[in-house]
Structure 1
Amino acid sequence: MVVTKTIIIITNTGPGCSSVAYGASEEIGPFKINKRGSGLYLNKFSWNLAANLLFLETPAGVGFSYSNTSSNLLDSGDRRTAKDSLAFLVNWMNRYPRYKHRELYITGESYAGHYVPQLAREILAYNNANSKHPLNLKGIMVGNAVTDNYYDNLGTVTYWWSHAMISDKTFHQLINTCNFHQQKNSEECESLYSYAMDQEFGNIDQYNIYAPPCNNSSDGADARSTLRSMKMPHLSHHVSRKLSGYDPCTEKYAERYYNRADVQKALHANATKISYKWTACSEVLNRNWNDSEASVLPIYRQLMAAGVPIWVFSGDVDSVVPVTATRYSLAQLKLQIKIPWYPWYVGGWTEVYKGLTFATVRGAGHEVPLFKPRAALELFRAFLRGKPLHKS
Structure 2
Amino acid sequence: MRITFLLLLHICVAALLAEASQEARLREFIVSRRSSRSSRSNAYNVHDEQKVRVGATNTRSLGAEHSVSHQTTLKAADKIAALPGQPDGVSFSQYSGYVTVDEANGRALFYYLVEAAGDAAAKPLVLWLNGGPGCSSFGYGAMIELGPFRVNSDNKTLSRNKHSWNNVANVIFLESPAGVGFSYSNTTSDYDKSGDQRTADDAFIFLVNWLERFPEYKGRAFYISGESYAGHYVPQLAATILSHNMNDTTRTSLNLLGILVGNPYLDDSMNTKGVIDYLWSHAVISDEVQINITKNCKFNPSDGTACLDAMAAYDLANTDVYDIYGPVCIDAPDGKYYPSRYIPGYDPCSGYYIEAYLNDLEVQKALHARTTEWSGCTDLHWKDSPASMVPTLKWLLEHGLPVWLFSGDFDSVCPFTATRYSIHDLGLAVAEPWRPWTASKEVGGYIQLYTGGLVFASVRGAGHQVPYFEPERALILVSSFLKGMLPPYEKGL
Interval of TM-score (by shorter of Structure 1 and Structure 2): 0.7 to 0.9
Distance 1:55 1:27 in 2: 11
Pairing partner for 1:279 from 375, 380, 383: 375
Describe the shift of the 1:188–1:37 C-alpha distance in structure 2 as closer, same or farther (beyond 3 A).
Answer: farther
**Residue 221 of structure 1: how far off its partner (Å):** 5.2
Whether the aligned pair in 1 keeps the contact of 2:331 and 2:338 (CA below 8 Å) is no
Map of 1:60-209 to 2, 5 A cutoff? 60-131=178-249, 133-182=252-301, 186-196=304-314, 199=315, 201-209=316-324
Q: Which runs of 5+ in 1 are unaligned?
A: 225-243
Describe the shift of the 1:219–1:291 C-alpha distance in structure 2 as closer, same or farther (beyond 3 A).
Answer: farther
Distance 1:290 1:109 in 2: 20
Residue equivalent to 1:237: none
Residue equivalent to 1:367: 465
Distance 1:35 1:126 in 2: 45
Map of 1:40-51 to 2, 5 A cutoff? 40-51=158-169
**Residue 336 of structure 1: how far off its partner (Å):** 2.0
Residue equivalent to 1:249: 349
Distance 1:53 1:219 in 2: 40
**Residue 98 of structure 1: how far off its partner (Å):** 1.4
Distance 1:149 1:386 in 2: 30
Describe the shift of the 1:222–1:216 C-alpha distance in structure 2 as closer, same or farther (beyond 3 A).
Answer: closer
Residue equivalent to 2:386: 293
Whether the aligned pair in 2 keeps the contact of 1:25 and 1:254 (CA below 8 Å) is yes
Distance 1:336 1:206 in 2: 32
Whether the aligned pair in 1 keeps the contact of 2:222 and 2:258 (CA below 8 Å) is yes
Whether the aligned pair in 2 keeps the contact of 1:220 and 1:249 (CA below 8 Å) is no
Amino acid at match of 2:398: A
**Residue 96 of structure 1: how far off its partner (Å):** 1.7
Distance 1:377 1:247 in 2: 19
Distance 1:22 1:382 in 2: 23
Describe the shift of the 1:31–1:68 C-alpha distance in structure 2 as closer, same or farther (beyond 3 A).
Answer: same
Whether the aligned pair in 1 keeps the contact of 2:337 and 2:349 (CA below 8 Å) is no
Pairing partner for 1:54 from 149, 158, 172: 172
Q: Percent identity?
A: 49
**Residue 186 of structure 1: how far off its partner (Å):** 3.9
Q: Select between 127-136 and 327-336 the one with higher mean Cα deviation.
A: 127-136
RMSD over equivalenced CA pairs, Å: 2.1
Residue equivalent to 2:325: 210
Q: Select between 139-148 and 121-130 the one with higher mean Cα deviation.
A: 121-130
Residue equivalent to 1:352: 449
Distance 1:245 1:193 in 2: 35
**Residue 223 of structure 1: how far off its partner (Å):** 9.0
Whether the aligned pair in 2 keeps the contact of 1:214 and 1:220 (CA below 8 Å) is no
Distance 2:261 2:310 in 1: 30
Whether the aligned pair in 1 keeps the contact of 2:142 and 2:149 (CA below 8 Å) is yes
SS at match of 1:61: coil
**Residue 36 of structure 1: how far off its partner (Å):** 3.9
Describe the shift of the 1:264–1:53 C-alpha distance in structure 2 as closer, same or farther (beyond 3 A).
Answer: same
**Residue 33 of structure 1: how far off its partner (Å):** 0.7
Using the size of structure 1 for normalisation, the TM-score is 0.88
Aligned residues: 362
Describe the shift of the 1:93–1:219 C-alpha distance in structure 2 as closer, same or farther (beyond 3 A).
Answer: farther
SS at match of 1:344: strand
SS at match of 1:357: strand
Distance 2:292 2:334 in 1: 38
Distance 1:102 1:335 in 2: 30
Distance 2:198 2:294 in 1: 34
Describe the shift of the 1:121–1:161 C-alpha distance in structure 2 as closer, same or farther (beyond 3 A).
Answer: same
Distance 2:332 2:474 in 1: 28
Give deviations 1:219-252, integer Å, cap 9, x for gaps.
985599xxxxxxxxxxxxxxxxxxx982111122
Using the size of structure 2 for normalisation, the TM-score is 0.70
**Residue 104 of structure 1: how far off its partner (Å):** 0.6
Distance 2:335 2:460 in 1: 26
Residue equivalent to 1:390: 488
Q: Which runs of 5+ in 2 are unaligned?
A: 1-117
